[in-house]
Structure 1
Amino acid sequence: MAGNCEYHCQWSRNRLDYNYSDAVIFHLYNNIDRRDFVLHQLPERKNSDQKWVLMAKEPPAFFYSDQLKLLNDEFNLTMTFLTDADVSIPLGHATRNLDRAFFSFEWNPKKKLIAWMASNCITSSIREPLVKELQKYINVDVFGACGDHGNGGGKKRDEFKEVLAGQYRFYLALENSDCDEYITEKFGRNLQLGMIPIVKGRRALYSKFAPPNSFFHADAFTSVETLAKYLERVASNPVELRQYHEWRSTYEVFHHSFTSNHNWPCDLCTEDTTLKEKP
């Protein structure tokens, strides 16, 4: 068990341990070519006391609603990015840290303005029209399957994001789904790397999660053209640009994959008394 936890639980990835486990985690994913994958992949529950945990890292829009309803009576606990899940695993967070070293802003004459990297080109959040409209007024370089600027030349996604951060001031951190509490690494990772995210949808959610004055929200502007003009002005003005980086002197932003940097095993053990075994 990683981290500080008052309960000792043993974890296994060996499917042979299934029948002897107090709890089993099922990772729900979506495959558009197999509509009935959910029910066909569920094994027989051998032990009536065994807890089934439904883990999902994507929002509801990614799944078939009728299939999800069929699972209502199958699972005992949920593990998702939502704060009201039985075990909440957020995809990122910001922490105020007054002990951080004094922030020193250095003017970096990056030549490029806005980057966007995406592989899902038709989304429920309808982010695509914003990108196309923005491109009418300002240069936006699109990478991945949705653009014509390549996909990193074989570099891993995180490695390529670091390359982009050295060239671009801003990043379009547009989620593929507009869902409560759904903020992925698109936002936090690029804040970490030094780019200023541009977002849309659920403005209050970003304001709650992010450090103050750390991002641009498209809905805060009267038009996309107004947003584009403002971005050009900020990019060329060191004083204004600094204002969007000053939060770095008092805040830290963390992004993480679904189960990293989080003591979810202890949270799961703590959630139900049948899983607890005090040392």
Structure 2
Amino acid sequence: MAITFYGTDFGFGGLPIPRKPGHLWSVIHEESPKNNDWLFSAKSTMSLFNLTATFKRQSHYSFPTMWLRDERELTDTQFMVSIAEKNRLRRGGLAPVVFVHMDCHTASDRSHYMRLLQRYIKIDSYSDCEHNKDFPANNLTFGSLKGMAPMLSDGFFKLIAQYKFTFAFENAVCDDYITEKFWRPLRLGIVPIVFGSSTIKDMAPSDHSIIDIRDFKSVKEVADLITFLDTNDEEYLKYLTFKQTGVTNPVLKEELRKRDWGIGKSYLSHFTGFNCFVCDKLHEMKNQVRNGQPVTQWSGKFDHYGCPVPKVFDDQGRYVVENNLWLEPFSYAEFYEHSLRYHIDNNINANISEIHKYADRLLKQALRDGIRLPL
């Protein structure tokens, strides 16, 4: 009675066509919208599904805190480095800010912002992006840093925890899209410089624990604050007060309280939680049929996942420039969605390659008809 799709792989194995009456289609997707060629940011893609599970709080089963096991991780002091030791390391040449991102070309334009900030502040970059510092030669924990595993290791945590500030930019800008890039520095006792979700303050442990670049008119203002905090221990430590007081943000506390997954378990236990959620909905439908009641009709909506068009930073560090290379792939999602709809509506069991081929035909026809991209 129910089919659950994983968003990134949706369509790769074909489509369960024909779609039978009474069957629920559900989708779970914790990745950013660029992970499936922006398909889930197209206007009506989410309406294909009865039940949705995404990072967006509007979805039926949301998980904006997907990379946070529980509140205890935020107050954990296992890897914290004292301010005295951080100052000693700074005198020894360690930069105040660390940058470790492996995806260099992102819709959040984070590598560009890093270069802008680097005009004013020294930044250590261990990653492939803007690389200027190598990992310690005597530490084999990190390997090539391909994949997530090395970034979840104790060795990596101990290295990064030495810094006062870290970049915590997501790879895409979408409300409630919050990953380990945000939670990790909070756990390690580092002040995150954040960009991604416009609602990020809802998930901060306190009202004075992060540096959100949206609060500043220019990258220089951000640099000025970092410089000030780097030389004023008392003011810097105010950003880490939550380590003693615990979470004081009522929105985050409520988000953690109401979820039925996590609680010290695997970071990915929301997948199991969603399976149970879908199963409960099926039982609800069966009981409604048995009792002669109208059967609830669930449907996904655009705001269950939909994300805005990507932009890039201008020379002042403002995320406002719309004329960029991301607009064309973002616009392509409209043709991708129309192709998907065509195959589903006509009961054609196409795989993702065939869906893309038809989308390409639609795109070429639109260009011949004089339709300009981006849409």
TM-score calculated relative to the size of structure 1: 0.72
Residues in 1 aligned to 2:126 and 2:81: alpha-carbon distance in whole angstroms = 28
- The answer (yes or no) to whether the contact 1:121–1:145 under 8 Å persists in 2 is yes
CA separation of 1:66 and 1:263: change in aligned 2, threshold 3 A:
closer
Q: Which moved more, 1:88-97 or 1:192-201?
A: 88-97
Q: Would you say how many aligned residue pairs link Structure 1 and Structure 2?
A: 245
CA contact (8 A) 1:218 1:227 kept: yes
Judge conservation of contact 2:175–2:196 (CA < 8 Å) in 1.
no
Alpha carbons 1:165, 1:194 under 8 Å: kept: no
Check 1:76–1:188 CA distance in 2 against 1; reply closer, same or farther (3 A cut).
Answer: same
- For the residue of structure 1 that corresponds to 2:83, the secondary structure is coil
Query: Which protein has the bigger strand share?
Result: 1
Cα offset, 1:28, TM superposition: 1.5
Aligned: 1:270 with 2:289: no
1:6 is matched with: none
- Asked if structure 1 preserves the Cα contact closer than 8 Å seen for 2:169 and 2:193, the reply is yes
Bigger fraction of residues in helix:
2
Q: Structure 1 CA distance, aligned partners of 2:237 and 2:3?
A: 48
Q: 2-side partners of 1:144 and 1:106: how far apart?
A: 25
Per-residue Cα deviation, 1:109-150 (whole angstroms, up to 9, x for no partner): 222311111121111122222100111111111232213235
Distance 1:248 1:271, change over 3 A: farther
Alignment of 1:1-279 (within 5 A): 22-29=1-8, 38=11, 41-44=14-17, 48-65=21-38, 74-90=48-64, 91-92=66-67, 106-110=82-86, 111=89, 112=94, 113-148=96-131, 149-150=133-134, 152-154=142-144, 156-159=150-153, 160-203=155-198, 205-210=199-204, 211-252=206-247, 257-260=267-270, 263-272=273-282, 273-274=284-285
**Structure 1, unaligned stretches of length 5 or more?**
1-21, 31-36
Give the greater-gyration-radius structure (CA).
2
Q: Is the 8 A contact 1:23 1:50 kept in 2?
A: yes
Q: Secondary structure of the equivalent of 1:79? A: strand
RMSD of Structure 2 on Structure 1 (CA): 3.6
Distance 2:158 2:185 in 1: 11
Please give the secondary structure, in 2, of the residue aligned with 1:147.
Answer: coil
Distance 1:166 1:207 in 2: 22
Q: 1:167 to 1:73 in 2, by over 3 A?
A: closer
Deviation for aligned residue 1:246: 0.7
Query: Which runs of no fewer than 5 residues in structure 2 stay unpaired?
Result: 136-141, 257-261, 288-375
Amino acid at match of 1:109: E
Q: 2:8 is aligned with what amino acid?
A: Y
Q: 1:94 to 1:39 in 2, by over 3 A?
A: closer
Closer, same or farther in 2 for the Cα pair 1:216/1:65, shift >3 Å? Answer: closer
Letter in 2 for 1:59: S
Q: Deviations over 1:150-201 (max 9, x none)?
A: 5733561111540333321111000111111111111012201111100135
SS at match of 2:175: coil
Q: Give the % identical residues.
A: 26
Distance 1:179 1:248, change over 3 A: same
Instruction: Give, in whole Å, the separation in 1 of the partners of 2:47 and 2:232.
Output: 57
